[in-house]
Amino acid sequence: MPMSMERKYAKDPRLALLKKFFSDNECPVKDLSVDFLVAADRNGLDWRLLPSIAFIESTAGKAYQNNNIFGWDNGDVRFASIKDGIHSVGEELANSRFYRGKTLDQKLRTYNRFAHYPGSVKSVMAQIGPPAVAVN
């Protein structure tokens, strides 16, 4: 991550909330918190969505393969790095023909067909923080 991005997000209150959530849950991806925010902002996603999916799928980096902390394509997709996976999955959730234009619930039902999945992801999203966070 370029230092300018680190600086841009340094005072963003979402960063503190995300790092706290990852720290409280001993998640290995804590140091990639800025990447989660950048991917969300670039793709117009709720800032809590990608971290929540990663938490449900791999406890945010505790159990995964192929640098795929999202279980993307049943965990079979290989990413060059976890960071690459964050940005790739963010791009797909926003712009692929399977997800583009769908509501959060529709995206989550497409992501995982289990009936409980949207509720599970949204529960983690609520634990991370509110949808909108005021910047001081």
The domain made up of 26-128 has a fold known as Lysozyme (1.10.530)
Q: Which residues are within 8 A (CB) of 80 and not within 5 positions of it... i.e. 6 or more apart?
A: 67
What integer pLDDT is reported at residue 60 of this predicted model?
A: 94
What integer pLDDT is reported at residue 29 of this predicted model?
A: 96
**For residue 15, which amino acid is it?**
L
What integer pLDDT is reported at residue 2 of this predicted model?
A: 56
Residue 46 in 3-state DSSP? coil
Binning the chain into helix, strand and coil, the percentages to the nearest 5 are 60, 0, 35
What integer pLDDT is reported at residue 6 of this predicted model?
A: 75
The two structure tokens encoding residue 24? 């409280």
Domain positions in the chain are 26-128
The two structure tokens encoding residue 9? 């997000």
pTM for the full predicted model: 0.93
The two structure tokens encoding residue 132? 């909108």
- Helical packing angle, 3-10 and 33-43, nearest 10°: 90
Q: What is the pLDDT along the chain (136 residues), one digit of tens a residue?
A: 555 777 889 899 999 999 999 999 999 999 999 999 999 999 999 999 999 999 999 999 999 999 999 999 988 999 999 999 999 999 999 999 999 999 999 999 999 999 999 999 999 999 999 987 755 4
